[in-house]
Amino acid sequence: MVLLYKITFEEDDNGGNEAEKLEKFKKEINLRKQFDSMNISQLLFVNFKILSGLCMNKVQCRLSFEYSETNLQKYTNEKKI
């Protein structure tokens, strides 16, 4: 199973704070790609797409993660046994 997550960054005419948030997010994604652990879901796919509208541009990021039915409670109960 794959979990798909979308996040959108709006670009305004001022350049503004959203561009900074996008750059910070890209750095965090690059760090996340380096994780390799059984206990952290694997990042499978990252895609950035620019959506153009009438007066606005948006950058949309699509992330897909390996999905697991295991949650923290199940994991800790299994480890206690």
Own/partner pairs for 68-77, CB < 8 Å, 24+ apart?
A: 68/1, 68/41, 75/39
For the stretch 30-41, pLDDT in tens is 888 888 777 677
pTM of the model as a whole: 0.61
Residue 11 has a pLDDT of: 63
**CATH number, domain with residue 57:** 3.30.200
For the stretch 37-75, pLDDT in tens is 776 778 888 888 888 877 777 888 888 888 777 777 777
Range of the domain at 65: 2-80
> Considering all CA atoms of the chain, what is the largest pairwise distance in Å, rounded to the nearest integer?
59
Q: Give the chain's end-to-end CA distance (angstroms, integer).
A: 27
| Number of Cβ atoms within 10 Å of the Cβ of 52 | 9
**In total, how many domains does the chain have?**
1
